[in-house]
Amino acid sequence: MFTPKYPTPDTAPTPDTTLVRPLTGVVYPPAACDCHHNPATVTAAPAPAPAARSAVQLTPGALVVAVAGGTAAVLVVGAVLVSMLLAVAITAGSLALLAVVLRLMLNDSRKGQ
C-alpha cells in the first residue's frame, strides 16, 4: 500500500534534441575589422578623462527640504521607538505588580489553614 509505483523504463519520455542546435558560422575570436585606419592612432594613449562631477546637484531650497525631511524622519522613528519602550515598561510594571498581589494572596490563604 505504501510502496511507490515507478513507471517502467521504456515509457520515460525521450529528450527532444531539435531544441538544441549547434552554433555554426561563429568565429572566436572575432576576425579583425576591414576598416582602413592608422595603427598608430589605435595604440595611442587615450586623453585624460574630464574631472567627474557629482551626479546630484542640490540647490539651497532642495538642501533645506532634504534636511527638514531627514529631521522629520528621525523624529518620527524616535517617537515610535520611545512609545514601544514605554509600552514594554508599562507591561513589565503591571506584571510585577500582579506577581506581588498574587504572592500576598497565596501567603494569606496558607496562613488561614
Q: What is the pLDDT of residue 26?
A: 60
pTM equals 0.42
Predicted local distance difference test score (pLDDT) of residue 92: 97
Q: With respect to residue 71, please indicate whether it lies within any of the assigned structural domains.
A: no
Rg (CA), the chain: 39
Contact 61, 53 (CB under 8 A): no
> For residue 29, is the peptide bond before it cis, meaning its omega torsion is within 30 degrees of 0?
yes
Tell me, yes or no, whether 58 lies in a domain: no
Provide the domain limits for residue 103.
81-113
Torsion of CA 18, 22, 25, 26, to 10 degrees: 130
Residues of the chain with pLDDT under 70: 11-13, 15-54, 113
Any domain includes 36: no
Is residue 56 in some structural domain? no
How many domains does the chain fold into? 1
**Which pLDDT score is estimated for 79?**
97
- What is the predicted pLDDT for the residue at 88? 97
The phi and psi torsions of 37 (rounded to 5 degrees) equal -135, 165
Alpha carbon separation from 19 to 11, 13, 15, 16, 23 (Å, rounded)? 21, 15, 9, 6, 12
Which residues are CB-contacts of 58 (< 8 A; sequence separation ≥ 6)?
66
Query: Does 16 reside within a domain?
Result: no
In a domain, 53, yes or no: no
In a domain, 102, yes or no: yes
On whether residue 38 sits in a domain, the answer given is no
